[in-house]
Structure 1
C-alpha cells in the first residue's frame, strides 16, 4: 500500500490522481510489464475535474511545435516519468492494440457506464477521465473495492438523453455521424464552445464540470477542427 501512496503523491504534481487498481487473475490476459513478462498488477491514472489543465497548458506553451494529439502526448510524458521512478511500464488508452481500460476501470472502482457510455462516478459524475495506467510485475495491495450506487439508476428524468439538439444519444446507442455533422456544422457553435449538451445536462458531479475552454478543446479534437 505504501507504493500506491507514493505514486499518488508523484501524480499530484501534475494534477493527476490514481484511480484504483487490480491484480490480474488466472483468467486475465495481462499485458507485458516493464521487463517483458506478464504484468501482475495495474494501477489506473486519471483525473477528477479539470485539475491537470494548468499543468498541461504550461507544458503545451513550452513545446517548440504542437503535437497532433497534445493531451495524449503530455499524458504519456508525465505518466511515463512516474513509471520510471517506480519501475513500472506506462500504457495509454490510445495505445494500439487497445487495452481494456474501461473494463479495468469498472473492476478497479466498481463503476458502471452512463447512457452516454462514460462511466458514472458517485462523486465526479461524468467529469473524470483515465489518462493512462502503470503496469507492475509484482502484486500491489489495493483497498477493497466498495459497492457503489449507480446514480443513473436513481435519475428519473434522464436529461442526458433529452438535451442534444439532434438527439445523438438514445437508449439504442450513439448516432456518431449525426453528432459529428452537427458539431461541425453552422448550428453546432454552442456544442463546439461549451461542450456536449447531453453531458452538461447530467445533474451529478457538477462541482467537477470542466470549464468551457477545456470542453471546447475536447470538442475541437473530437470534431477534427
Structure 2
C-alpha cells in the first residue's frame, strides 16, 4: 500500500489546527536500520512534524491552562498528545525527539528538508531562519508518495559578518563548539536577565527569518526550561 498525497494533505490539515506543520519525510531503504512502526515491524517511511515560528504557542497555552496539575515538561507532553492523536487517526506510530534512547531527529531533518546546521547547531532554514523546531514524527509501515526535497540554500554560507558568534556576553558559541557551562552559568547568574527574559542573544542576532522570530515570552519559556533541565 502507498499513502496517497490526499492522505498526507489530510494529516497536514489536522496538524494545522494545533499550529503544527509537516516538515518533510522520506522512505527508509531496505538496508537501513529503521525504527519500529505501529505494529513493531520496521517502518518504511516517516513524516516529520514541527513548527515554523511560534504558531503552536496559543494552542499550547490554552491546553496548559486546562491542566489540573503542574507538568514537568509541558511542551513535550502537549506535542506528544497532539501528534499521538494524529498517529492514531492515520495508523502511524508517533515518536518524539525526547524519547529515550534518543533518535537521530537532526539527521532525519537534514535528510528530509536538505538543511545544514548553523554555527549555533540549529538547522538553518531558507525561509524560517533559526525560528523553527521539530516536535515529533509519524512512522508508517507503508510507503508515502511525496516529492523529494531539493537542496536548500544554506544562508550561513552567504553571511560574512556572523553576528550569531559575536553577541553572547560569555562567547558561548564559537568555532570550537558550545560552551555549555559558561552559557548555563550566565543564564542563571545576575547578569543573565536579558537572556532569561528575551532569549539567546546570539540566536536573536541572526538576520535571517526574522518574521518568524519567537516572541519574547516564548523565548523566555524555552530559556527557563533550559536552565531547569540543566539543574
TM-score normalised by L of structure 2: 0.96
Q: Does 1:100 align with 2:104?
A: yes
Matches within 5 A, 1:106-145: 106-145=110-149
Q: 5 Å matches for 1:1-225?
A: 1-224=5-228
What is the CA-CA distance between 1:192 and the residue it aligns to? 0.2
SS in 2 for 1:220: helix
Secondary structure of 2:144's aligned partner: coil
Distance in 2 (alpha carbons) for counterparts of 1:27 and 1:206: 41
Unaligned runs of 5+ in 2: none
When normalised by structure 1's length, the TM-score is: 0.99
What root-mean-square deviation, in Å, do the aligned CA atoms of Structure 1 and Structure 2 show?
A: 0.8
- Report the secondary structure of 1:11's partner residue: helix
| 1:146 Cα deviation after fit | 1.0
* 5+ residue gaps, structure 1: none
Partner Cα distance (2:50, 2:140) in 1: 17
After superposing on structure 2, the runs of 4+ consecutive aligned residues of structure 1 that deviate more than 2 Å are: none
In 2: Cα distance, 1:213 partner to 1:28 partner: 41
Distance 1:52 1:142 in 2: 25
Residues 4-54 of structure 1, C-alpha deviation per residue, up to 9 Å, x if partnerless?
111100100100000000100133211100011000001000000000000
State the 1:158 CA deviation.
0.2
CA deviation digits over 1:164-213, x for unaligned, max 9?
Answer: 00000001100000000000000000000000000000000000000000
Cα offset for 1:59? 0.3
